[in-house]
Structures are given as C-alpha cells and as structure tokens.
Amino acid sequence: MNPLLILTFVGAAVAAPFDDDDKIVGGYTCEKNSVPYQVSLNSGYHFCGGSLIDKQWVVSAAHCYKRATNSKFSERGGIQVRLGEHNIEVQEGSEQFITAAKIIRHPNYNSNTLNNDILLIKLSSAAVINAYVSTISLPTAAPSAGTTSGGDLTHISTFFDRLLILTADYPDELQCLEAPVLTQAKCEASYSGRITSNMFCVGFLEGGKDSCQGDSGGPVVCNGELQGIVSWGDGCAQKNKPGVYTKVYNYLTWIKNTMASNS
C-alpha cells in the first residue's frame, strides 16, 4: 500500500475551519464510469460526496450531516443519493437516484476538531450493481506513506470542482487527482496540534495539487480500497498544507456494527 492515492470529487466545500472555496487543483477529468462507487448527495443541489460500500450503504463525512439536516429536506427520506453519475448536468442513462432512509453520524464526532468525521447513510432501497454503479472495498490495513515513484496510486475524485486550474469554471464532470500519502510526522508538522490518530494527509508539500475544499465526504482510494474520506484542510494547494482525510481503517468495527444493527 505505497505511494499515490487517486482522489475523485463532486463539488461541495470541505469542512469548517477553512475557506469555502470548492476546487480540486492540478487534476483531470476522470475516465467515464471509472469511479462507479462515487455518489453525489443531493438536497435540491449537490452538497457532498460519498462512497458506496454496500448495495444499501454509503459512507461520507460527518460534517455533511449539518448540511443535510439544515436543508429544506428532513433528515429521514429527504436526501437523495445519486449514483452512476459522470456529468451531473446531463441525464446519461447510467444514473440511479435513491432516497436516504437513515443518516447515522459517528457518536463521537467533534465539529470543532473534526475528529471522527464519518457518517453512514442507509439507502431506502438497494442499488442495482452494474457497469456504472458498484461498491468499493473497505480497507484491510491502514494507509501507508510512500514516494511517488514506482508505487500504487491513491485516487481522489469529485464532481464539478475546479480540479484543473484555479481560474477555471467549475466542470460538470467527475474530476480526479493522484497524490501521495504523507507520513504522519509530515502531516502533524503541517497542522501542529490538530491531527489526531483518526486523520491522515494526502498531497504535495510543495503545493500546486490538492483536493482543496473539494467535495466533502468523497473517496480516497488506494489499491482498490477506500482508505479515506475528504475532511478538511487549510487553503487550496498551498505549500506545506496538504489535504486531511478521515482514516476509514479506524472505523471498521463501527461501520460493520452500525450496518448490522440497522439492517
């Protein structure tokens, strides 16, 4: 589980203590249908991303909960989960729109520190698994740091963020970024006193590429496993300020127990 992650994004801002400036910087448009586990959470507009981990369950960021419950929709049955999207402005025939039946935030989520920034969404009906929609595996080990040479990729994705260049308009198509997992020491040095054991950093210390307030709740995938959830960061693609992500591996027991008790 070395080097790079590939990140995909859909366009809402990353959580608080930080600028609400939505964009992936330094990325590219994902190959169509190459990220079938990516979902868009919608309450009349896209507000967060997420990942399909089971035919009836999505994982996202806990700080998306406030956006969901503060919208004109109610907590139960008011959030639409959109799967199989590539261009969010065009009906392409691959989409599935399913209402959320339950939104379950981690009980120890801290909105000030963003520790335990994870939530689960139970769909009102099971997704149909096909070429456009499929699940992503949960991690079998924690993410490990590595260099960018000769290793596996970490992948970040999002919809309609300015992943390409800072001055570009928001694209409507799913955007991707490849970036390295950083050591915990480098992560903690970048954000003194703010990194917990439930967080890890992905990005380039020299700046220039980042998930950058792009698509809270979206996936960070390494070696075909969901390693992270887009959580927070300072600024956009700034030097010594990499993106910070929720470490999914630390929540395997909570995820499995929550799904089992709400089956």
Q: Which residues form the catalytic set? A: 63, 117, 216
Q: Quick check: helix, strand or coil at residue 188?
A: helix
**For residue 253, how many other CB atoms are within 10 A of its CB?**
8
Contact 37, 134 (CB under 8 A): yes
Alpha-carbon separation of residue 76 from 43, 149, 174 (angstroms): 12, 46, 27
Determine which helix (DSSP H) or strand (DSSP E) holds 185, and give its type and residue range: helix 184-190
Contact 68, 85 (CB under 8 A): no
Question: What's the rounded Cα separation, in Å, for the pair 217 and 3?
Answer: 22
Question: What's the rounded Cα separation, in Å, for the pair 222 and 144?
Answer: 10
Which runs of E-coded beta strand occur in the chain?
A: 4-9, 28-29, 38-42, 46-54, 57-60, 80-83, 96-105, 119-123, 154-158, 175-180, 199-202, 219-222, 225-232, 243-247
What are the structure tokens assigned to 102, written together?
A: 């339950």
35 Cβ partners below 8 Å, 6+ apart?
8, 155, 157, 174, 176, 219
**For residue 221, how many other CB atoms are within 10 A of its CB?**
25
Question: What's the rounded Cα separation, in Å, for the pair 85 and 263?
Answer: 26
